[in-house]
């Protein structure tokens, strides 16, 4: 008599296959963790390296023998708000145009616009900067300190008024049926900033203004575009993950050219401010050089995080997995905006 063997339970083989596949799935899950850890580590290390210049003008000026201009901290804050407003508004216009180029993109599921809020913040910031110009580049303590009519009589005053009016027009455009038209007045703000940064008394001021124009435009599109792309990706990650990955990939290809332009114009502008033979000394001995060094370190961190995001985008089965390093990238870009604002408020290095 042959022994009775227990019959296989229904679904036993499927259960065995499922059980066997569990370790494989659990083995795959931690793959994203090392990349995220590396992204966070790079961001933390570079932030620590840039900590001293980022503590403020007084820290950057300490030990350099340079005097701090009145209201440097306040001007830095106002310019940070203004640059952030430019990033948010132009980033929305730019990222929306990229989204329209993605086949099958759910354009009806777009993140809520921040353009009007950013334009309002830009108006307040530029009004504050205009009040400083109206007081002779000093911090006004009362209304009688300001010469409002004098703004129309000086180059800096007219540029300050242009920026205020441009943000007002951008606010109206953001509330219109065609919010993308806000790009025109915002472009005027960038032109005004490029002209303000290089007064006529400077050698070849138009060359410097042209470099600043390209540098600032590319930086605004890079930071603001990534912010809006990530906000869009967050909405699409469940309903349209493939289209979200395509949008991030499209942004990444353009961002590579933006980074190249930022690097080239940044190097040229640095050599115009500091001759090649004195760059290394001035990077540590002047407030401008220290802050510039902090900015370079942060841009390097941004580039590393961008490479991590692009690598995930190419290799990972789920393109949305690139969201984590890209989020670190946009945070680092926010720090770059703050450092850039600080650079505009510090005394320029003396050409030796």
Check residue 137 and give left, alpha or beta (phi > 0: left; psi -120 to 50: alpha).
left
Tokens representing 321 are: 């997995």
Task: Identify the pLDDT of residue 49.
Answer: 44
Question: Angle formed by the axes of helices 241-273 and 287-315, to 10°?
Answer: 150
Cα 292 from Cα 156, distance rounded (Å): 24
Task: Identify the pLDDT of residue 6.
Answer: 46
Residues making up the chain, counted from first to last:
352
- Beta-carbon contacts of 82 under 8 Å, excluding residues fewer than 6 positions away, are 122, 125, 126, 129, 163, 189, 341
Cα 41 from Cα 146, distance rounded (Å): 47
Compute the radius of gyration of the chain from its Cα atoms. 25
Task: Identify the pLDDT of residue 274.
Answer: 81
Contact criterion met (CB below 8 Å) for 266 and 343: no
Give the predicted TM-score (pTM) of the model: 0.79
**DSSP symbols for 53-66:** HHT-HHHHHTTT-P
To 5 degrees, how large is the angle CA 266–CA 97–CA 119?
70
Contact criterion met (CB below 8 Å) for 306 and 24: no
Task: Identify the pLDDT of residue 1.
Answer: 45
Tens of pLDDT along the chain (352 residues) come to 444 444 444 444 444 444 444 444 333 434 444 556 555 655 565 554 444 444 555 556 665 656 566 677 788 889 999 999 999 999 999 999 999 999 988 888 889 999 999 999 999 999 999 999 888 877 787 787 788 888 888 999 999 999 999 999 999 999 999 999 999 999 999 999 999 999 888 888 899 999 999 999 999 999 999 999 999 988 887 788 888 888 888 998 899 899 999 999 999 988 888 877 777 777 877 888 888 888 898 899 888 888 888 887 777 666 666 677 788 888 888 888 888 888 888 877 765 5
């Amino acid at each position: 008599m042959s022994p009775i063997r227990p019959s296989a339970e229904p679904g036993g083989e499927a259960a065995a296959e499922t059980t066997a596949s569990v370790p494989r799935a659990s083995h795959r899950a931690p793959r994203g963790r090392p990349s995220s850890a590396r992204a966070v580590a790079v961001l933390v290390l570079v932030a620590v390296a840039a900590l001293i210049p980022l503590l403020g003008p007084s820290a950057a000026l300490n030990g350099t023998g340079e005097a701090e201009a009145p209201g440097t901290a306040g001007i830095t804050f106002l310019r940070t708000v203004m640059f952030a407003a430019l990033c948010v508004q132009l980033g929305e216009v730019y990222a929306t145009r990229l989204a329209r180029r993605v086949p099958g993109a759910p354009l009806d599921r777009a993140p809520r616009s921040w353009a009007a809020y950013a334009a309002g913040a830009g108006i307040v910031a530029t009004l504050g900067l205009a009040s400083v110009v109206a007081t002779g580049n000093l911090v006004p303590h009362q209304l009688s300190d300001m010469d409002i009519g004098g703004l129309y009589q000086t180059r800096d005053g007219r540029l300050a008024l242009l920026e205020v009016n441009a943000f007002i027009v951008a606010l109206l455009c953001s509330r219109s049926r065609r919010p993308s038209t806000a790009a025109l007045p915002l472009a005027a703000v960038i032109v005004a900033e490029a002209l303000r940064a290089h007064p006529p008394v400077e050698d070849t001021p138009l060359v410097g203004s042209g470099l600043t124009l390209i540098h600032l435009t590319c930086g605004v599109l890079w930071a603001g575009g990534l912010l809006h792309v990530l906000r869009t990706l967050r909405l699409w990650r469940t309903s349209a993950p493939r289209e979200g990955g395509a949008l991030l990939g499209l942004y990444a290809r353009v961002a590579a050219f933006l980074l190249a332009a930022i690097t080239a114009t940044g190097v040229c502008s640095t050599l115009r401010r500091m001759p090649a033979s004195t760059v290394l000394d001035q990077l540590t001995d002047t407030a401008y050089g220290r802050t510039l060094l902090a900015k370079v370190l942060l841009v390097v961190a941004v580039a590393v995080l961008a490479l991590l995001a692009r690598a995930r985008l190419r290799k990972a089965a789920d393109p949305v997995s690139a969201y984590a390093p890209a989020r670190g990238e946009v945070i680092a870009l926010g720090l770059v905006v703050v450092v850039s604002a600080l650079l505009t408020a510090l005394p320029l290095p003396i050409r030796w």
